Amino acid sequence: MYDPRSLKAEEFINHDEILETLRYADENKDNLELIDSIIEKARKRKGLNHREASVLLVCEDKERLDVLYSLAKEIKNDFYGNRIVMFAPLYLSNYCVNGCVYCPYHQKNKHIARKKLSQEEIRREVIALEDMGHKRLALETGEDPVNSPIEYVLESIKTIYSIKHKNGAVRRVNVNIAATSVENYRKLKEAGIGTYILFQETYHKESYEKLHPTGPKHDYAYHTEAMDRAMEGGIDDVGLGVLFGLELYRYEFAGLLMHAEHLEAVHGVGPHTISVPRIKRADDINPDDFDNGISDEVFLKLIALIRIAVPYTGMIISTRENKSVRERALELGISQISGASRTSVGGYAEEDRDEEDSSQFDVSDNRSLDEVVSWLMRNGHIPSFCTACYREGRTGDRFMSLCKSGQIQNCCHPNALMTLKEYLMDYASLETRNIGEALIEKELENIPKENVKNITKERLERIEKGERDFRF
């Protein structure tokens, strides 16, 4: 009973359809004629369905894989240019009533330090983040109706938006909290959130139930149908993801694409972002206890094929990955990365960071934001601190049509340059600033419309003189 338009989890993520897809992919693994026709379709930049993309995932033909990797890069550049959007996670609380077996916040973990930030502590965290240059945050909490009810999350969002420290401001707050009700999603929308992010963890229902043995998150349908409720509550930018390592990656890949197809079919808008987290070592978690870990090669292949299958989506990679994997992933379709992340509650303002560890997982990229920004530029990317789209009401289908129209170069590109300029003026080291100024000079020439280019030049001069927060 596979039906992408259904609102029932087991019908739009249909187990039999996934098994059938995997069988179809295996049968056509060496069918080069079919593979070539799928590649031809992918070149049209309109995406691929889960069956077509699953065939490419089992393809081992070196020549074709090289073609696919180049295509992923081209598609990323067509839709998002060479811009990379920057963000940081902010952990508010690690109290949790769930039993997720891969997460150290699970309720039975008695030795992890439990913390919940007060509004004053949130202020300190936000000031520390603003002092680095961050403008966009992803809020994270464990699920706990008593310690972090929706009212606490809403109050925290208000606090975050209210803090203006020197030239700093958080201009977009994305939220990654447990699946909730339409009413609560409506409240989050009213609080002015950007994207609502929720990782599916795994699309495999039976495994999902085993991996979430206790707590509200145990309910597979409630979790899987969360994005439909979020959209019903008025949030039209939603972010998907699976935690790679829990289940067979081919199963997850097909499920993820079916989820994207479902959102398009029902709401007319696919996922605003797709994240690609891999399971990491954490307080009482050993990733080797999970059988389905994937190699870097498979991980990178997944990234390239998600980019090709869902060309318009933003793709996020976090500091779970190290510098060299991130460097390669950036060449295959990633469009957003976090920098200088702390995954502990209070981790940005804390002076003695080792005192009581409350972190969710170990990070593999410990560089400062300045180092990440400089590295991106040296590798030909433009770090962007832009938050304009959602502040201009370009969300959901309005963002997607901008993205699909190719006009992004007259809008996102100048916005990226102006926000990078702010970063260089306010936070960068001298070396980073020099690299950045030269990059802005060069990239100004890539703004197609002459009048937009002139306005951008004029605004860059005004930023130099102290004005802030321009946007198209």
201 binds ligand SAM (CB under 6 A): yes
User: Between residues 102 and 385, which has the closer beta carbon with respect to ligand SAM?
Assistant: 102
Angle between helix 323-330 and 296-309 (nearest 10): 30
In this structure, what is the dihedral angle of CA atoms 225, 227, 233, 239, given to the nearest 10 degrees? 170
Rounded Cα gap, residues 67 and 50, in angstroms? 19
Exactly one of 176, 207, 374, 395 binds ligand SAM (CB under 6 A); which one? 176
Contacts of 223 (CB under 8 A, 6+ apart): 179, 198, 200, 201, 208, 212, 217
Q: Of the two residues 280 and 381, which places its CB atom closer to ligand SAM in the complex?
A: 280
Site string for ligand SAM, 94-113 (x = CB under 6 A): --------xx----------
Options 81, 133, 142, 383; binder of ligand SAM; rule CB under 6 A? 142
> From CA 62, how far away is CA 306, in angstroms rounded?
19
Q: Which is nearer to ligand SAM, 106 or 171 (CB)?
A: 106
3-state secondary structure 291-325: CCCCCHHHHHHHHHHHHHHCCCCEEEECCCCCHHH
Query: Which is nearer to ligand SAM, 101 or 444 (by Cβ)?
Result: 101
In whole angstroms, give the CA distance from residue 383 to residue 135: 12
The DSSP bridge partners found for residue 278 are 244
The piece of 174-182, 262-270, 395-403, 439-447 that touches ligand SAM (CB under 6 A) is 174-182
- What minimum distance in Å lies between the beta carbon of 124 and ligand SAM? 20
When asked if residue 204 is in the footprint of ligand SAM (CB under 6 A), the reply is no
User: Do 188 and 178 meet the contact criterion of CB atoms below 8 Å apart?
Assistant: no
- Identity of the residue, 180 or 410, whose beta carbon is nearer to ligand SAM in the bound complex: 180
Nearer to ligand SAM, 201 or 350 (CB): 201
What does residue 202 show for φ and ψ, rounded to 5 degrees?
Answer: -145, 145
Regarding 177 and contact with ligand SAM (CB under 6 A), the answer is yes
Nearer to ligand SAM, 35 or 179 (CB): 179
Should residue 259 be labelled a site residue for ligand SAM when binding is judged by CB under 6 A?
A: no
- Closest distance between ligand SAM and the C-beta of residue 90, in Å? 11
Among 130, 140, 261, 443, binds ligand SAM (CB under 6 A): 140
| C-alpha of 118 from chain center | 26
183 by Cβ neighbours in 10 Å (0-12 / 13-18 / 19+) ranks as exposed
For every residue of 338-375, DSSP letters joined together read: E-S---STTTTT-SSTTSS---SS--S----HHHHHHH
Binding residue for ligand SAM, selected from 217, 229, 250, 342, defined by CB under 6 A: 217
Q: Smallest Cα–Cα separation from 175: which of 148, 215, 204, 202?
A: 148
Q: Among 125, 143, 236, 247, which residue sits at the site for ligand SAM (rule: CB under 6 A)?
A: 143
**Residue placing its CB nearer to ligand SAM in the complex, 23 or 281:** 281
Under the binding rule (CB under 6 A), the answer on residue 261 touching ligand SAM is no
Cross-strand pairs, 85: 336, 384
* Stretch 268-307 residues interacting with ligand SAM (CB under 6 A): 277, 279-280, 282, 285
> Which residues is 88 bridged to in the sheet?
137
**Which of positions 355-394 make contact with ligand SAM (CB under 6 A)?**
360-361
Taking the least distance from each CB to ligand SAM, the nearer of 41 and 205 is: 205
Alpha carbon distance 189, 390 (integer Å)? 12
Rounded CA-CA distance 407/399 in Å is: 11
- Which of 10-18, 42-50, 193-201, 349-357 is the region at the interface with ligand SAM (rule: CB under 6 A)? 193-201
Among 38, 59, 243, 382, binds ligand SAM (CB under 6 A): 243
Nearest CB to ligand SAM, comparing residues 83 and 326: 326
DSSP 218-263: G-HHHHHTHHHHHHHTT---EEEEB-BTSS-HHHHHHHHHHHHHHH
Which region among 30-38, 40-48, 137-145, 309-317 touches ligand SAM (by CB under 6 A)? 137-145
Task: Quickly count: other Cβ atoms within 10 Å of residue 215's Cβ.
Answer: 18
Applying CB under 6 A, the span of 13-21, 53-61, 136-144, 426-434 interacting with ligand SAM comes to: 136-144
Output the smallest distance, CB 281 to ligand SAM, in A. Answer: 7
The one-character DSSP state at 101 is T
Least Å distance between CB 343 and ligand SAM? Answer: 8
Shortest reach from residue 466's CB to ligand SAM, in Å: 38
Tokens of 210: 């085993």
Q: Which of 126, 178, 306, 408 binds ligand SAM (CB under 6 A)?
A: 178
Strands 314-317 and 83-93: unpaired
Under the rule (CB under 6 A), what is the footprint of ligand SAM? 102-103, 140, 142-143, 176-178, 198-199, 201, 217, 243, 277, 279-280, 282, 285, 320, 360-361
